[in-house]
Amino acid sequence: MATRKIGPALAAGCTVILKPASETPLTALAIVEILERAGVPKGVVNFVLPSKTGPMISKMLHNPRVRNLSFTGSTEVGRTLLKESADCVLRTSMELGGNAPFVVLDDANIDDAVAGAMIAKMRNGGAACTAANRFIVAKSVAQEFTTKFTKAMGALKLAPGLDEGAQLGASVSIKERNKIADLVTAAVKAGGKLVLGGATPEGAGAFYPATVVTVDKTNPILNNEVFGPVAPIVTFDGDAEAIELANATEYGLISYVYSSDLKRAIKTAEAIESGMVAINRGVISDPAAPFGGVKQSGLGREGGFAGIYEFLETKYIGVEI
């Protein structure tokens, strides 16, 4: 996350203040050290980790030397930062929450869809803004998809990262793990059917197992970004309903569509309200492509030519000779 912001900022000639997530500061600190070893002068990239985050960020955002705020995080925090930025009319780049639909049309290659679903859902244990969050599957192929997907999810080894063969590790904190567990509990209480997982393991660590739950379209879990190894599956009858379900969220970061008919897939992708759509693939991020969302998933773009524009201002000079 830090490099995607620092790179274009430096290329545009800006100095940078980097404030990483308080739970995971060490990688960011290492990046700053590496940049200095590579020749970036001290003071160009500045690492801060305040004990009282809110007041310090507010103070920075009200300093006239600050010209841009680039933030990756939750929509809730993003809204707060936008309000703070308004006082000085700061330019903002916001990469916020997601609720990515993974749409499997009735003509999809199910084996390919399952393979893509495992990548889209389970990289970083589901704790990614681009993670598939809602599996919207055509009724005619739902049983086959659910069976094969559940088998693949159930084969993952839940263990600490240092354990040999570990494939699914812990959440970033006990609090985050408990939030995931609460979402599953609420989904089941609302009528969802557990197909796999759903029970918090005993013992130390913020672990939660790979979980698959079938739900109807009114289930509350479909309204939340799970940010963990939980896959709710909801079915649909026709393409129009699939699009309606995909768009039934305030978020619009990324979507996934699987179909053997490219024309049909593109038509579906164009109708889905998200900044990015992956067709027949489980990964779409690319340093050369613009990354970002619509609706309450953010403002602006990272990556590609669009990424540096966030740190530049357009000036028009008209001359008469």
- What does the pLDDT look like over 162-218, one tens digit per residue? 899 999 999 999 999 999 999 999 999 999 999 999 999 999 999 999 999 999 999
* Claim to verify: residue 188 and residue 304 sit in the same structural domain: no
CATH number for 275 = 3.40.309.10
Give me the chain's average pLDDT, please: 96
* Claim to verify: residue 261 and residue 301 sit in the same structural domain: no
Return d(Cα 7, Cα 26) in angstroms, integer: 19
Buried b (16+ CB within 10 A) or exposed e, 229-245: bbbbbbbbeebeebbeb
Domain presence at residue 230: yes
* Claim to verify: residue 65 and residue 176 sit in the same structural domain: no
* Claim to verify: residue 211 and residue 116 sit in the same structural domain: yes
* Claim to verify: residue 173 and residue 120 sit in the same structural domain: yes
* Claim to verify: residue 54 and residue 122 sit in the same structural domain: no
**Lowest mean pLDDT, pick from 218-222, 283-287, 293-297, 314-318:** 283-287
* Claim to verify: residue 132 and residue 178 sit in the same structural domain: yes
E strand or H helix at 184, and its extent?
Answer: helix 174-189
- pLDDT classification of 303: cutoffs 50, 70, 90: very high
Identify the pLDDT of residue 89: 96
Which ranges of 87-132 does DSSP label H, i.e. alpha helix? 110-122
What are the catalytic residues? 95, 129
pTM, entire model: 0.95
Closest CA to 251 of 291, 292, 290, 214: 292
User: What is the span of the domain harbouring residue 29?
Assistant: 2-96+297-309
Name which residue leads in pLDDT, 51 or 142.
142
- Token pair in block for residue 28: 């960011």
* Claim to verify: residue 119 and residue 253 sit in the same structural domain: yes
* Claim to verify: residue 162 and residue 265 sit in the same structural domain: yes
Return d(Cα 84, Cα 7) in angstroms, integer: 25
175 Cα distance to chain centroid: 19
* Claim to verify: residue 38 and residue 144 sit in the same structural domain: no
Cα of first residue to Cα of last residue in the chain, in angstroms, is 47
Return d(Cα 202, Cα 225) in angstroms, integer: 25
Domain presence at residue 290: no
Residues 238-275: tens digit of each pLDDT: 999 999 999 999 999 999 999 999 999 999 999 999 99
* Claim to verify: residue 202 and residue 304 sit in the same structural domain: no
> If you average pLDDT over residues 272-300, what whole number do you get?
96
Return d(Cα 216, Cα 282) in angstroms, integer: 24
Count up the domains in the chain and report the number. 2
* Claim to verify: residue 165 and residue 248 sit in the same structural domain: yes
CATH number for 78 = 3.40.605.10
**pLDDT(1) > 90:** no
Residues 55-102: tens digit of each pLDDT: 999 999 999 999 999 999 999 999 999 999 999 999 999 999 999 999
- Asked if residues 234 and 78 have their Cβ atoms less than 8 Å apart, the reply is no
Write the single-letter amino acid at 167: Q
